[in-house]
Structure 1
Amino acid sequence: MDLKSGYPFWAIKNGLMHAFEPLETDTRCDVAIIGGGISGALIADTLSAAGHEVVLVEQRDIGWGSTAASTALLQYEIDTHLTELAGTLGEDNAVLAYRACVDAIGLLEELATGLGDVGFQTRDSLYYASRRRDRSPLREEFELRQKRGFDVSWLDSAEVQERFGISAPAAILNRPAASVDPYRLTYRLLARLQERGVGVHDRTRVASVVTRPRSVDLELENGARLSAGHVIVAAGYEGENFLPRNVATNRSSYAFVTDPISRDELGVLATTMMWETARPYLYLRTTSDNRLLVGGEDDRRDIPKRRDAMVDRKARSLAKKAQKLFPHLNITPTFSWAGTFAETSDGLPYFGPHPATGPRMLFAMAYGGNGITYSMLGAGLLRALVEGRPHRLAPLFTFDRLNV
C-alpha cells in the first residue's frame, strides 16, 4: 500500500537513522513480528523483556510506513466520547478503556525516559467545543469523566479566552497527555533491541504465511524461512490484507509543520495540545524544536493519487483555520504531508487472533487517533495471549467483540 504523501516531517528531520540487515537465512524464534513501525517496536520490546525470543521483519526501511506520517498525539482520550462508549459497552467497560489509556501514557513516558532523545514531552490537552451546540454534550462528557476520577477541569467561554487566547463556547482541560517523535522512538527502540540480540530486519518481505497446530511458517521472498510459535501482524493498515474482510474504514488525514517559533510567541501552545469537537477535527501541538504541528482535514477517500494531489490544498486550509485561532502567529506550512488513517466503528483497536486465521496468528491493529497509546496497551495484551494468560482488556480489544 501507498501509505503517505508529501514530506513527512519526522523522516526528513531524522533521515535513515540506522541500517538493519535483511533476513536471508532460515531462522526459528518464539515470536515473529511482521511490521517495523512503532507498533511492532513496542510489541517486540515488551515480548523480549519478558524473555521471549523475537524476530521482527519489515518490508520497507524501518519506520517508513504509517509511523513516518503519524502526528503522535499521546492522549488517554479516545475518539469516541466516554459517554458514547458507555452507552455501547457499559460505563465500567468504557472507563476501563479510558483508564488503561491513562496508564499507557505513563508507560510510554517511562520507556522514552530510558531511551532518551525521542522528543517526548508531557502536555495538557484542551478539548474545546467547535460550536455552541457542542457545549451541552461536552459538559456531559466532562461530568462523567470527573465522576469517574479523571483529571479534568471545566472552562467556560471566558476562561478559554483568558487562559488560551481562543474563542470557544467551552472546553475540557485534560491531564495527562504527551507528544513524541514516533519515527525516532521506533528507530532508537529497535536499535537497542538489536544490541541486546533481538533479530531486527528491514527490506524483508513476507511472501506467505502457513499456520500449523504448533507453529507458524513464514516464507520470505528471498527464499529464506522464518518459523515461530506465534506470528504477530503489526503491519498497520496493511494488516487487513491477512483478513477475509476489513474491520476498519480507511481514510486520508493531512498535516503540516511550521518553521520553529519562539516559545514566547507560542505561549500556551508550547505546553498544551488542542483539538476540537467537530468531526473531522482540527488539532494542534508543538514539536520538541518548537514548530507548530497542525493536522486534520480528514476525508473519506484513501486513494493515493488523489491524496497526493490534495496535500498542498489541505495544508493551506489547515493553516487558515489555525491562523484564525491564533492570528498573532505566522502559521505557514514548511513541510506538509498526508497518510492513511483508519477508524473502527467503536473507536477501539483490535489485538489478538482472528477466527479466520487461527490462534497462533495474532494481529495488532491500533486504529484511531491515539494509535500509539493503543499499541503500548496492545503489547501487554499480546504478551498475555502468547503466554496463555487472561488480560483485563481482552474483552474490549480483541476480535471477540466483533460479529465475524
Structure 2
Amino acid sequence: MDIKSGYPFWAVKNGLMHAFPALTRDVRCDVAVLGGGISGALIAHELLTHGHSVCVLDKRDIGWGSTSASTALLQYEIDTPMCELAKMYGEDNAVLAYLACMQSIGVLADIAADAGDVAFDLRKSLYFSSQKSHVRRLQAEYALRRKHRFPVHWLDAEDVRTQFGIEAHAAILSDLAAQVDPYRLTYRLLMHAADQGASVHDRCTLKRIVAKPHRVELTSEYGVQVHAKHLVVAAGYESQQFIRQRVAKNRSSYAWISEPVPGGVPHALSKAMLWETRRPYLYARATNDQRVLIGGEDDAFDVPLLRDARLPKKARTLHRKAARLFPTVTLKPSFAWAGTFAETADGLPFFGVHAEHPPSVLFAMAYGGNGITYSTIGARLLRATIEGRQHPLAALFSFRRLGH
C-alpha cells in the first residue's frame, strides 16, 4: 500500500537511525506485534516493560510507514468535540475518552523522558473559531469541558489577538498538549526494546498467518516462523485489510514545513499548537529547530497517483495559509509531503478483538488526529486484554460499538 508522497521531514532529518536484523530464525514469544511504527513501538514498550516477551515485525524499514508522515500534535482533544461525542455515547463516555487522552500526555512525557532525545515538548493547544458561525458551538464545547474540570480557558477575539497575534472569532485555550518527533521516538523505543531482549525485525514480508484461539503462527516469505500466544495487528492504515468490515474511511492529508525561522518561530507557536474549527481543519505547530509545520488541505479520498500529483499545489496553498496566519514572519519552504489518513465515523479508535478472528488476534487501529495519544491508551488496554483484565475503555474503544 502506497501511504505517503513527497519528503516526510522526520525521516529526512533523522535518516536511518538503526539497522535492525533480518528475521533469519524461528522465534517464540508471548506477543507478536505486526507493525514497526509509533503504535507498534508504544505497544511493544508497554508489554515488554510488564514482563511479556515480544517480537516486532514490519515489511518496511522501522518507522517508514505513516509514522514518518505524522505531524505529531499530541492533544487530548479528539477530532469529534466532546459535545458531539456525548450525543453519540452519553456524557460519561465522552468525558471518559477525553480524560484518558489527557492522562496519556503525561504517560507520553514519561516515556519520552526515558527514551531521551526525541524532541518532546509540552505545549498549550489553541482551538480557534475560524468562522463566526462556529462561536456558539465552541462556547457549548467550552462549557461542557469546564463542567468536568478540564484545564481550559475562553478567549474572545481580542484575547486571541493580544495573546497570540492571530485573527480568530474566539478560541478555547487548553493548558495541556505536547509535540514530539514521532520517527525518533519510534526508533528509540524499539532500539531499547531490542536491548531488553525483544526481537525486532524490519523488511520482513509475511506469506502466511495462521491464528487459533490460543496461539498464532506467522511465516515469512523465506519460511521462518514466529510462534506467539497473541498477535497484535498495529499496521497503521493497512490494518484494515485484515478485516472485511470497513471501519474507517481513508483520506489524503498534506503537510508543509518551513526552513528554520531567523529569530525564532511566531510568538503563537512558541506557546501553543493551533487548530481551527473548520473541517477539514488547518493546524500548525513549531519544531524544536524553529521551523513552522502546517498541515491540512485534506482530500476526501486517498488515491496515491492523485495525491502525488496534487502535492505541489497543496504545498503552495499551505504556504499561503501559513503566511496569512503569521503575516509578520517570513516563511521559506523546506519540505512538503502527504500521506494516507484514516478517519472513523465517531473519531474514536478501535482496540481489541474482532469477530472475524479468534481471540488470539488483537487490533490496534489508532485512527484520526489523536493517533499517538490513542496508541498510548491502546497499549495499556491491549495489555489488560492479554492479561485477562478489564479496561475502562475496552467497550467504547472496541468494535462492539459498531455491533461487532
Q: Say whether the fold is shared (TM-score over 0.5).
A: yes
**Contact persistence 1:253–1:298 (CA under 8 A):** yes
Give 3-state SS (helix, strand or coil) of 1:106's partner. helix
| Equivalent residue number for residue 308 of structure 1 | 308
Which amino acid in the other structure matches residue 58 of structure 2?
E
1:338-349 pair list within 5 angstroms: 338-349=338-349
> Which residue of the partner structure matches residue 58 of structure 2?
58
Q: Which residue pairs with 2:37 in the alignment? A: 37
- 2:80 aligns with 80
State the shift of 1:398 in Å.
1.1
Q: Are the counterparts in 2 of residues 38 and 372 from structure 1 also a CA contact under 8 Å?
A: yes
Please name the residue that 2:387 is paired with: 387
How far is 1:263 from its partner?
5.0
SS of residue in 2 equivalent to 1:230: strand
Structure 1 residue aligned with 2:397: 397
- List gaps (5 residues or longer) in structure 1: none
Partner of 1:48: 48
1:217 paired residue number: 217
CA distance in structure 1 between the partners assigned to 2:107 and 2:61 by the alignment: 26
**1:241 aligned partner:** 241
Give TM-score, length-normalised by structure 1: 0.99
Distance 1:381 1:60 in 2: 26
Tell me the TM-score normalised to structure 2 length. Answer: 0.99
CA distance in 2 between partners of 1:213 and 1:266 (Å): 55
1:326 Cα deviation after fit: 1.1
Structure 1 position 265, deviation (Å):
5.1
- Work out whether residues 76 and 370 of structure 1, in 8 Å CA contact, stay in contact via their aligned partners in 2: yes
CA distance in 2, matches of 1:271, 1:221: 49
Structure 1 runs (4+) deviating above 3 angstroms are 262-265
Matched ranges for 1:262-281 at <5 A: 262=262, 264=264, 266-281=266-281
The DSSP-based 3-state class of the residue aligned with 1:92 is helix
- For 1:387 and 1:22, the matched residues in 2 are separated by 30
Mapping for residues 4-403 of structure 1, pairs under 5 Å: 4-262=4-262, 264=264, 266-403=266-403
What is the Cα deviation at residue 264 of structure 1?
4.7
Q: Which moved more, 1:3-12 or 1:259-268?
A: 259-268
Aligned length: 404
Q: In 1, are the aligned partners of 2:153 and 2:172 still within 8 Å (CA)? A: yes
Matched AA of 2:354: H
Tell me, what secondary structure is at the counterpart of 2:333?
coil
Distance of 1:350 and 1:105 partners within structure 2: 19
Question: Could you tell me which amino acid in structure 2 is paired with residue 351 of structure 1?
Answer: F
Code of the aligned partner of 2:350 = Y
Q: 1:263 to 1:122 in 2, by over 3 A?
A: farther
CA contact (8 A) 1:263 1:270 kept: no
Structure 1 residues 32, 110: CA separation in 2 closer, same or farther (over 3 Å shift)? same
Structure 2's unaligned 5+ residue stretches are none
Contact 2:6 2:338 in 1 (8 A): yes
Identity of aligned residues (%): 57
For residue 147 of structure 1, what is the amino acid of its counterpart? K
Query: Counterparts of 1:315 and 1:333 in 2: how far apart (Å)?
Result: 9
